[in-house]
Amino acid sequence: MGTELALYDAPPAKQPSGCFLSLPTSQEIQACWELCRLHNNIGFWVVYLPTTWSIALAYHAQSDLPGVAALARAAVYVPLCFGVKSLIMTIDDILDYDIDGLVERTKGRPIPRGAITLPRAWLFFALQSVIGIALALKLLSTRALYVSMPVWPLYVIYPTCKRWTNLAPVPLGAMFNIGVLMGWADLSLDGHIPWETLLPIYFGACLWTFTYETVYQHQDKVDDVKIGVNSPALLCGDYTIPITTATSIGFLGLLVYGGIANGQGWPYFVGVSIAGAMLLVKLAQTNIDNPHDCRDLFLGTVSVGQVILAGLVIDVVAQRLMDGIPL
């Protein structure tokens, strides 16, 4: 791959003036905004929604858990999930800047176009990490911190994956969906974490990530072949829709299994069914050779997750009202 990359060297970036520790310029502030993808927050949603699923599951299973505690925890995770998403996006752009400069869709990102130097991008990432760790230590329970720690190394491993494997969505899913385990860990009243309920949902959510990320990567497949990098789109090829249909069914099946294990009611299963229909119909309509179709399916990911969350919320509220349990 090194030889192929050398054949398609990215144009040298225009380096902003100023020393390493100088105050950021307006150009660099804009570049940092883009590095965090704050102009496009789908990354936030795909991290946040699995976390809220977990909070709703814990709220359903623990009748002594006050609703205000669940809502407060959901609010706490908003800045945390924005931070996680921003960290992942920033380190991805830093470690992939040479490849990004060779791909039509990504060559306008801040580092390839020269809006910020690589050292200054690393400095920005370090500042994000310090702030993020401080917030996590302040806001998360010890249990939730311990649950999240196994995926921390993936923050750095994931951006390198396209250089050596076609399965980058696997570590991406492990990172994005760790909130499925963390939300309940934060709200457990007795310290118990029901792995038999949460792990199936976690692995199902990872299949969901594989589904939308594989289709999304078809936008870059021509450039990926030219450069010599790997992607799940190249691995699955013309079989992408059958494969991602299978992973979608696996995702939905594991959600149902976890719901049964948690004693969920019919509103939850209706929500899963509607979300599944949305996802499967969209997959069937997707032409993987049409970048607009691939991007469209990816953007619809948020709605799928929100419908599942709506089913969970309606389920627990209805159950508490019927049982006379305070919300």
From first to last of its 327 residues, the chain has per-residue pLDDT tens of: 333 333 334 444 444 545 677 888 999 999 999 999 988 889 999 999 999 999 999 999 999 999 999 999 999 999 999 999 999 999 999 999 999 999 999 999 999 999 999 999 999 999 999 999 999 999 999 999 999 999 999 999 999 999 999 999 999 999 999 999 999 999 999 999 999 999 999 999 999 999 999 999 999 999 999 999 999 999 999 999 999 999 999 999 999 999 999 999 999 999 999 999 999 999 999 999 999 999 999 999 999 999 999 999 999 999 999 999 988
**Residue 39 Cα distances to 30, 120, 222, angstroms:** 10, 20, 26
Instruction: Report the pLDDT value the prediction gives residue 294, as an integer from 0 to 100.
Output: 96
Instruction: Report the pLDDT value the prediction gives residue 18, as an integer from 0 to 100.
Output: 54
For 310, how many CA atoms within 13 A lie in the half-sphere containing its CB?
A: 12
Report the C-alpha gap between 315 and 60 in whole angstroms. 8
Whether this model's pTM surpasses 0.85: yes
Report the C-alpha gap between 257 and 202 in whole angstroms. 11
Q: Are 178 and 147 in contact (CB under 8 A)?
A: yes
Q: In the CATH hierarchy, which top-level class contains the domain 26-322?
A: mainly alpha
Report the C-alpha gap between 37 and 53 in whole angstroms. 24
Q: Are 111 and 94 in contact (CB under 8 A)?
A: yes
Domain ranges of the chain: 26-322
Report the C-alpha gap between 311 and 314 in whole angstroms. 5
| DSSP H stretches of helix in 36-160 | 42-61, 67-95, 97-100, 110-113, 118-139, 142-148, 154-157
Looking up tokens 């196994």 gives: 150
> Which residue in 163, 157, 153, 86 sits closest to 121, CA to CA?
86
| DSSP secondary structure letters along 272-316 | HHHHHHHHHHHHHH--TT-HHHHHHHHHTHHHHHHHHHHHHHHHH
Report the C-alpha gap between 147 and 124 in whole angstroms. 26
